[in-house]
Amino acid sequence: MNKLFDKLFPICRSITGSGLRKTLEILSEYIPLKKFNVKTGTQVLNWTIPKEWRVREAWLKGPDGKKIVDFNNHNLHLLNYSTPINKKLPLEELKDHLHTIPNQPDAIPYVTSYYKRRWGFCLRHSTYEHLKPGKYHAYIDSELVEGELNYGHAILPGESNKEILISSYICHPSMANNELSGPIVAAFLYNRLSNWSKRRFTYRFVFAPETIGAISYLDRFGKELQENLYSGLILNCIGGRSDLSYKLSRQENSPIDNIVKHLFNVDDNTPEGKIRSFTPIYGSDERQYCSPGFNLPIGQMARLVYGYSEYHTSLDNKELMTIEALHHSVNELEQIIKALELNGYYINQYPYGEVKLDQYDLYPDINSKRYEEHFKDKVIKNRNQLDQVLTILNYSDGLHSLYQIVEDYNYNILELSHVIEILKSRGLLKGPYFKEEV
Amino acid sequence: MNKLFDKLFPICRSITGSGLRKTLEILSEYIPLKKFNVKTGTQVLNWTIPKEWRVREAWLKGPDGKKIVDFNNHNLHLLNYSTPINKKLPLEELKDHLHTIPNQPDAIPYVTSYYKRRWGFCLRHSTYEHLKPGKYHAYIDSELVEGELNYGHAILPGESNKEILISSYICHPSMANNELSGPIVAAFLYNRLSNWSKRRFTYRFVFAPETIGAISYLDRFGKELQENLYSGLILNCIGGRSDLSYKLSRQENSPIDNIVKHLFNVDDNTPEGKIRSFTPIYGSDERQYCSPGFNLPIGQMARLVYGYSEYHTSLDNKELMTIEALHHSVNELEQIIKALELNGYYINQYPYGEVKLDQYDLYPDINSKRYEEHFKDKVIKNRNQLDQVLTILNYSDGLHSLYQIVEDYNYNILELSHVIEILKSRGLLKGPYFKEEV
Amino acid sequence: MNKLFDKLFPICRSITGSGLRKTLEILSEYIPLKKFNVKTGTQVLNWTIPKEWRVREAWLKGPDGKKIVDFNNHNLHLLNYSTPINKKLPLEELKDHLHTIPNQPDAIPYVTSYYKRRWGFCLRHSTYEHLKPGKYHAYIDSELVEGELNYGHAILPGESNKEILISSYICHPSMANNELSGPIVAAFLYNRLSNWSKRRFTYRFVFAPETIGAISYLDRFGKELQENLYSGLILNCIGGRSDLSYKLSRQENSPIDNIVKHLFNVDDNTPEGKIRSFTPIYGSDERQYCSPGFNLPIGQMARLVYGYSEYHTSLDNKELMTIEALHHSVNELEQIIKALELNGYYINQYPYGEVKLDQYDLYPDINSKRYEEHFKDKVIKNRNQLDQVLTILNYSDGLHSLYQIVEDYNYNILELSHVIEILKSRGLLKGPYFKEEV
């Protein structure tokens, strides 16, 4: 992870351009990405692909001829999507093109102007405050050209055509938590899942620029997702020294919503985290996936959520994000996905009366108050497991999902997998099925 | 209002008779009422129109020949629907025909005996206590004759055939809050709405005697209301120094129920008030409109609710009611009706992905942490309005009414009208529609 | 009750055998039971009828030749379903066949091994502790033979084919609360209901061994129950110095669930008790009736619920159970059943507008503040009864059951029967109907 981070961090990314393409190439070393492009001027949903932004060099020199900021030192110094300029101009005129954050004097702000043509520099307010009157030289060797927008995806097949989508975005320049954490965690999660011996779902991993990239993706694959998508997650700001934080899908009771709520609550062996309501006001690409026409069952997972003070500045760096947090995220996401795989509708094969469990070696053959006698040398090791057996069999009627059962009976869904395997191996239980199958 | 009150107050009204007709005539000076009558003996639903009550003179003289009570001084002195009498009788015999309120010695009670023939007088208990033994002369020149029951309505057309009904009753003699407040507020509300440049709904204003009048109205127009009624309000006891008080319709979630609950709660710019549950036990004409066969979406609005100590006595006068309270009621009812007009199902015309709002001049063209830069010279003035835009567009899917959106996102429905107008003018939004239209 | 208890208590019952048959014969003296049997080896649902257990004599003699325990003294001394033995063996070897409860030294435990062949004795731990080394003589004259399992039922017809099932079990040997309380209460409840002048429901009383008996019953009558059953109760542990305790059916909102919840809560004139959730983990025959294939609307009623310290020991005796508690249970169950009979969907025959109640002698003929005048010489005695009339008529629309009405308006359902009778006698109300009839 560390290596991947260090390769990706210095690249000047934007919603189009060579930095975006370079990022997709590096990710392809870790995941078998299939790459796509959309030409400038193409209509995608209610949007149009803009010209591609290319930048070679950019700096600002002071009256003394010394460079004050240089794109080569930190790519945040250049207003993202800046038009070209080569002009000497007095400080007062220059100030309209300078962006700072007065109450964060040491932070270079991240400023974009994708759809309105502007040129500009971003700098520390501490630098800005010491600018002296005089003639400045602003030099930006950039261009906006007919080009393309790029994105990629990787499909990991499973037993079912039903899909789980994992998406993150790759348009942010040199910032860490927002947003290298998402793509890196996605890449490593892909590898984790690809090593599973079997997968119930098909997994779709998407890497695209934020907003316009997601819109391009939906323009092409939206119909397919509406047909096949079971649930999904946008990964975003998923580093930092915080517990997980989950934003519900617009449906607010989609499979991923329910499973995450369950795992955050049920006990200490599952990920801890906070639930945020759905909102169309703030957020990431779930705003597109959850637009009313698509309304897909996709939530958003974060740790240190956008809005923290270092957000959208040069202070959003590796120390803030931490590689360790990304490891936690991969582990916790794997648990969540395991729970999604386990959930569903099971069917008790002998629903009339209780199953005669002792015939299947699943019930004590003596009944007394001496509990220790009951489970001697049995497959079922204790009363708790027996309770799980009885509960699962009673509610596996095609009307209760496993999620509903564990919520009603306060079990950790992941702990039931042992007993479910036993019941399936004895021919007593089949599943999991999807709702429309039962 | 004051003038109308002073004209109506002295009239001796009942469920039939000349006082009722006179009241309809006076109201006709303010509203273009269409008048209806129903003959004595006509079957209306489970009821029959009684004989018409006419009264010319009524007094009670003491042993000394002096008048103790006189109908000419206060029409409450006469038992409403009293049969005629001309008889001298001793005090002990007379007492069976005298009505007082012992614990309100200065109040003349309002007593009615519409359907059982009785004669009687109502008087202050302070007067009653000083009656001396002796022969009294009871004289009531009234008659119960084949006649008619009268009521009227006025229809104010709107863009839709869907109707909002406003009803109050006109059968109470000289009392103020109960019930001249209702008819007067209804008359002035009619004039307010008739001045609107456009109305979505058609408005139906009904003035009839309580209970038997409402039953007569439903007998004739009930079917029509079942077809066209969107929602409605019974106005009753709508004066006094109290906030509004709303009794839910029997459905308890009809449009008017939801809108009133919303406005009472949401913020300080909307009417304040209390919500009462629906009950068939006490109340006014909503008992008829909300009988199980009709079950119309009609609530009841009051201020100083029946049951106050002056209720049904001569102490229910103009000082208790106040003309100022009636003005408040008209203003607050207009706000409620504006919210009903605004509510409904809106449709985002570009539901796939977010709308590219900057193309419509509705979104900042720069993205930075410096919020003041975002809304410079924009149609959308601040983040709050932008949030409203995003929220309305995301949920205008034909499944969420505006009421549901404002409840979920804690907006004041009336404050959204500005942004809705902008979105409609840009071609981004259509509506409001009724549920059955989407 | 006392007599019946004393006859039944000494019998050595099990899930098969002569004790079971004897018990059915004695119960037949109180109820016209129809008896059924199922042969050893018959498949019933997922189970098979085991061999019949017969026992003649059983004792254990110490090294000194004296009897330590004797089946004739207390039938709990013999492991229920013990295989035969006639063997002298040293204490150490014997111990594998002895069952005690160390922390209840004076209790003989109740131990069963129906489906695994074992022999054994149960004894007080205080006896066990004083056993001395030496040769012991274990003698059990029992056999497991091709035979049958027995059960019985009695049907008490009513106006409707819809049934209410009352079931208890008859396989426990000499213990009182668990389980002679259930069969005795059921028998006396049968007699109570058979004396009613009319019954809306048909009542089905079932007496069978627990689990395998219920499974046999469902194997034969399950389909019939699925067609006709309205609701039902398993009676179990229904003695003891406790309030009633009700375990909800698996549906958790079946008619009996709702009525019991209502009566436990509403006021002091109805049975007190606690509600337990449904669980498939612990319980009695509701585990079979509420298995997912049947999912019948059957709850379980108890007083001193299984799990008490005397449970499944010789300390569960008549003093613990008390005959008085059984009397309470019969009375309280009768109230619950009366409420079930009263509940249902009523139909107001004049649903348009309010009924003109004074025409039916059900409304005051004068309206004043003097309430005492209103109800003089009326059928309706007070405002509370008038409120009941208005409430019942307003909600008797075929959509609200009486249960829903009393829950919304906080009436005791049983107290409404007076007013309902009056309304029915006046032709204003019909019912109760079942949901599918309206």
For residue B369, name the pLDDT band (cuts at 50, 70, 90). confident
Residues B353, A293: C-beta atoms closer than 8 Å: yes
* β-bridge mates for residue C112, sequence order: A367, C80
Measured between CA atoms, how close is A392 to chain C, in angstroms?
A: 9
Q: Residue A291: which of B351, B365, B366 has the nearest Cβ?
A: B351
The span from the CA of B26 to the CA of B20, in Å, is: 10
Would the CA dihedral through A312, A317, A319, A321 be positive or negative? Answer: positive
C234, C301 Cβ separation under 8 angstroms: yes
Nearest by CB to residue B352, choosing from A280, A293, A312, is A293
B88 beta partners: B137
Q: Angle, to 10 degrees, between the axis of helix B417-425 and the axis of helix B323-342?
A: 30
Check: CB of residue C255 under 8 Å from CB of residue C231. Answer: yes
Which other chains touch chain A, taking contact as 3+ CB pairs less than 8 Å apart?
Answer: B, C
* pTM, 2 dp: 0.94
pLDDT at C372 (0 to 100)? 76
Rounded distance between C-alpha atoms, residue C332 and residue C245, angstroms = 12
Mean predicted confidence (pLDDT) in C413-420: 97
Q: Give residue B36's pLDDT.
A: 98
Helix axes C181-194, C18-28, angle to 10 degrees: 30
How far is the C-alpha of C380 from the C-alpha of B380, rounded, in Å? 65
Query: Can you state the angle between helices C402-409 and C383-395, rounded to 10 degrees?
Result: 130
pLDDT string in tens for chain A (438-residue length): 999 999 999 999 999 999 999 999 999 999 999 999 999 999 999 999 999 999 999 999 999 999 999 999 999 999 999 999 999 999 999 999 999 999 999 999 999 999 999 999 999 999 999 999 999 999 999 999 999 999 999 999 999 999 999 999 999 999 999 999 999 999 999 999 999 999 999 999 999 999 999 999 999 999 999 999 999 999 999 999 999 999 999 999 999 999 999 999 999 999 999 999 999 999 999 999 999 999 999 999 999 999 999 999 999 999 999 999 999 999 999 999 999 999 999 999 999 999 999 999 999 999 988 877 888 878 888 999 999 999 999 999 999 999 999 999 999 999 999 999 999 999 999 999 999 999
Q: What's the confidence (pLDDT) of residue B396?
A: 98
For B97, residues 6+ apart whose C-beta sits below 8 A from its C-beta are B79, B118, B119, B120, B121, B138
Please report the pLDDT score of residue A199 as a whole number.
Answer: 98
Cα-only R_g, chain B: 27
Q: Quick one: three-class SS letters along C68-108?
A: EEECCCCHHHECECCCCEEEEEEHHHHHHHEECCCCCCCCC
B chain contacts of residue A280, beta-carbon cutoff 8 Å: 354, 390-391, 393-395
Contact in structure between C20 and C52 (CB atoms under 8 Å): no
DSSP state of B111: -
Token digits for A333? 């996401």
**In whole angstroms, what is the distance from residue B352 CA to residue A214 CA?**
11
User: How do beta strands A345-348 and A429-433 pair?
Assistant: antiparallel
B253 CA: distance to closest CA in chain A (Å): 23
CA distance C38 to C220: 10
Of A46, A219, A312, the CB nearest to B355: A46
For C243-297, how does the pLDDT look when each residue is reduced to its tens digit (9 = 90+)?
999 999 999 999 999 999 999 999 999 999 999 999 999 999 999 999 999 999 9
| Among candidates A348, A352, A390 on the partner chain, residue whose Cβ is nearest the Cβ of C281 | A390
CA distance C337 to chain B (A): 29
d(Cα B432, Cα B392) in Å, to the nearest integer? Answer: 12
Residue B167: enclosing H or E segment and its boundaries?
Answer: strand B163-169
- In DSSP terms, A203 is beta-bridged to A156, A164
Looking at residue B188, its amino acid is F
Alpha helices by DSSP H, B172-267: 181-194, 212-228, 255-266
The string of pLDDT tens digits covering residues C299-353 is 999 999 999 999 999 999 999 999 999 999 999 999 999 999 999 999 999 999 9
Q: Residue C263's beta-bridge partner residues?
A: none
- Taking the CA of residue C347 and the nearest CA in chain A, the distance in Å comes to 34
- Domains of chain B (ranges; CATH) run 2-50+148-342 (3.40.630.10), 52-145 (3.50.30.90), 345-437 (no CATH)
How near does any CA of chain A get to the CA of C48, in Å? Answer: 9
Before C179, cis peptide (omega within 30)?
A: yes
Q: Are B29 and B22 in contact (CB under 8 A)?
A: no
DSSP A84: P
Confidence band of C34 (pLDDT split at 50, 70, 90) = very high
Residue B372 confidence (pLDDT): 76
d(CA B378, CA B389): 14
**Closest-CA residue to C270 (of C337, C321, C205):** C337
pLDDT band at B16 (very low <50, low <70, confident <90, very high): very high
Going edge to edge, which strands form the sheet with A397-401?
A: A397-401, A345-348, A429-433
Side-chain-facing half-sphere of C122: CA atoms under 13 Å: 29
Strand runs labelled E in C157-195: 163-169
How many CA atoms lie less than 13 Å away from C331 in the CB half-sphere?
11
Q: What is the pLDDT of residue C326?
A: 98
Residue A116 dihedral angles phi and psi, to the nearest 5°:
-125, 125
Interface test with A, best of B394, B396, B401, B430 (most A CBs within 10 A): B394
Q: Do B218 and C368 touch (CB under 8 A)?
A: no
ipTM of the complex model: 0.95
The CA distance from C338 to C346, in Å, is 16
**Closest CA–CA distance from residue C288 to any residue of chain B (Å):** 40
Which two three-digit tokens encode residue B351? 């539901």
Answer whether A397's CB lies under 8 Å from A348's CB.
yes
Indicate the residue of C116, C281, C290 with minimum beta-carbon distance to A365: C116
Asked if residues C152 and C186 have their Cβ atoms less than 8 Å apart, the reply is no
Find the helix or strand (DSSP H, E) in which B235 lies.
strand B229-235
Tell me the C-alpha distance between A232 and A254, whole Å. 9
- CB burial of residue C430 (10 Å; 0-12, 13-18, 19+): middle
In this predicted structure, what is the pLDDT of residue A374?
A: 85
What is the pLDDT of chain C when averaged over all its residues? 97
Question: What's the order of all strands across the beta sheet hosting B273-276?
Answer: B34-39, B148-156, B202-208, B163-169, B229-235, B298-302, B244-247, B273-276
Helices (H), A9-117: 18-28, 91-94
Nearest to B394 among A45, A47, A291 (CB): A291
Check CB contact under 8 Å for A353 and C113: no
Q: Distance between CA A232 and CA A255 in Å, rounded?
A: 9
Q: What would the mean pLDDT of B159-167 be, rounded to a whole number?
A: 98
CB atoms within 10 A of CB C319: 9
DSSP C105-133: TTPPB--B-SSS----EE--HHHHTTPPS
pLDDT of residue C378: 84
Helix, strand or coil, per DSSP, at residue A168:
strand
A345, A349, A354: best mutation site toward chain C, by most C Cβ within 10 Å?
Answer: A354
Q: Does C391 sit within 8 Å of B280, measured CB to CB? A: yes
Per-residue tokens: C323:
């005959």
Query: In this structure, are residues B231 and B340 in contact, taking their beta carbons and an 8 Å threshold?
Result: yes
Confidence of residue B373 (pLDDT cuts 50, 70, 90): confident
Instruction: Flag if B45 and C393 touch (Cβ within 8 Å).
Output: no
Which alpha helices (H) appear in B29-173, and where do they start and end? 91-94, 125-128
pLDDT one-digit tens code per residue, B218-273: 999 999 999 999 999 999 999 999 999 999 999 999 999 999 999 999 999 999 99
- By C-alpha distance, the chain C residue nearest A358 is C115
Chain A contact set for C110 (CB, 8 A): 368
Contact B354 A109 (CB under 8 A): no
Q: Tell me the average pLDDT across C96-116.
A: 97
| Residue whose token pair is 């001249």 | B180
